[in-house]
């Protein structure tokens, strides 16, 4: 059950542009180890394994690969890396980002259907 909740949390953050604080439900707020300073927490070990397998296959677009690699970072690593570059209204960059989100969303929908 926690596996599905974590996948839903990740899909919500990636695909719907929700901030971690918006996604943090009452259940997550009651578990402070999961939400650290309202930053995006590191994925649970089961999800980390899935993400590493997806990245290892090499079938993802560059933008989707960057998004998933960022999710595998610890909060400290993400803070050290800084904020990802913004698309600044560039239509091609916006399209690439949206396509990457749809690609990741489709992967997670398939994973949820398998469960």
For 32-85, how does the pLDDT look when each residue is reduced to its tens digit (9 = 90+)? Answer: 454 444 467 788 888 899 889 989 998 999 989 988 898 888 888 888 888 777
Strand, coil or helix: 24: coil
Output 69 or 90, whichever has higher pLDDT: 69
Q: What is the pLDDT of residue 52?
A: 92
For the entire predicted model, the pTM comes to 0.61
Q: What pLDDT is attached to residue 99?
A: 92
User: Which are the contacts of 60, defined by CB distance < 8 A and separation ≥ 6?
Assistant: 54, 68, 103
Residue 8's contacts (CB-CB under 8 Å, 6 or more residues apart) are 112
Handedness of CA 17, 58, 107, 49 (dihedral sign): negative
Per-residue pLDDT tens digits for 1-24: 556 666 666 666 665 554 554 444
């Amino acid at each position: 059950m926690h596996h599905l909740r974590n996948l839903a949390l990740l899909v919500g953050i990636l695909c719907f542009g929700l901030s971690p604080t918006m996604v943090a439900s009452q259940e997550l707020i009651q578990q402070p180890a999961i939400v650290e300073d309202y930053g995006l927490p590191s994925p649970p070990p089961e999800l980390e394994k899935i993400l590493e397998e997806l990245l290892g296959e090499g079938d993802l677009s560059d933008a989707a690969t960057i998004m998933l690699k960022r999710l595998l970072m610890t909060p400290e690593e993400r803070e050290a890396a800084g904020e990802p570059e913004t698309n600044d209204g560039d239509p091609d960059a916006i399209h690439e980002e949206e396509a990457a989100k749809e690609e990741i969303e489709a992967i997670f929908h398939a994973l949820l259907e398998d469960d």
